[in-house]
């Protein structure tokens, strides 16, 4: 019969605590789809939120480019319909300061009164923010389904 010393007890207790912490942290992981786009190019600290599981944000960019003779902020993004149903999506870009933006994908198409992306289809859009001349330091991008 082996005598368990105090140092062995501390080691076993510490190991049991680490194992318990590991199990709890793994159980709390979000196993949903990634909200970070496949391709991203933006100088801001960007947070992403998905309000629907039917869409995947495949690309997000923010840049300074000319618009009507002056340099302004542009947002470019691409959304893919990952569901098995046609759907229309709304993308909202919300800077920490300054005006927010909302855009529909698809903007136009069939049916004319409510255009949709078919299953597996993706579409890109690019919008100028003609009142902003600098990329905001922080912003949030929210993708949802347009249920009108």
Radius of gyration of the chain (CA): 23
* pLDDT recorded at residue 9: 58
Ramachandran angles phi, psi of 69, nearest 5°: 85, 0
**Lookup: tokens for 23:** 């199990």
| Three-class HEC string of 37-105 | CCEEECCCEEEEEECCCCEEEEEEEEEEEEECCEEEEEEEEEEEECCCCCECEEEEEEECCCCCEEEEE
Beta strand 70-81 with 55-67 is antiparallel
Q: For residue 141, which of 97, 106, 98, 90 has the smallest C-alpha distance? A: 90
What is the per-residue pLDDT across 82-112, written as a single tens digit (0 to 9) for each?
A: 999 999 999 999 999 889 999 999 988 888 8
3 state DSSP class of 132: coil
Q: How confident is the model at residue 37 (pLDDT cuts 50, 70, 90)?
A: confident
* Other beta carbons less than 10 A from residue 49's beta carbon: 13
What residues pair up with 101 in beta bridges, in sequence order? 93
Q: Cα separation of 50 and 56, whole Å?
A: 8
Domain ranges (residues) in the chain:
39-145
Q: What is the mean pLDDT of residues 20-25?
A: 38
Average pLDDT over residues 61-75: 95
Residues 124-135 have pLDDT tens digits of 999 999 899 999
CATH top-level class of 39-145:
mainly beta
């Amino acid at each position: 019969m082996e005598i368990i010393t105090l140092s062995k007890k501390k080691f076993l207790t510490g190991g049991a605590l680490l194992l318990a912490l590991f199990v709890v942290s793994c159980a709390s992981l979000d196993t949903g789809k990634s909200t970070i786009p496949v391709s991203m190019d933006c100088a801001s600290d960007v947070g992403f939120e998905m309000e629907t599981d039917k869409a995947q944000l495949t690309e997000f960019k923010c840049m300074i480019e000319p618009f009507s003779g002056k340099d302004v902020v542009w947002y470019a993004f691409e959304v893919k319909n990952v569901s098995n149903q046609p759907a229309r999506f709304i993308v909202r870009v919300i800077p920490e300061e300054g005006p927010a933006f909302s855009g529909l994908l698809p903007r136009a198409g069939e049916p004319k009164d409510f255009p949709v992306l078919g299953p597996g289809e993706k579409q890109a859009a690019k919008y100028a923010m003609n009142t902003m001349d600098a990329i905001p330091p922080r912003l949030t991008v929210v993708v949802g389904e347009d249920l009108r």
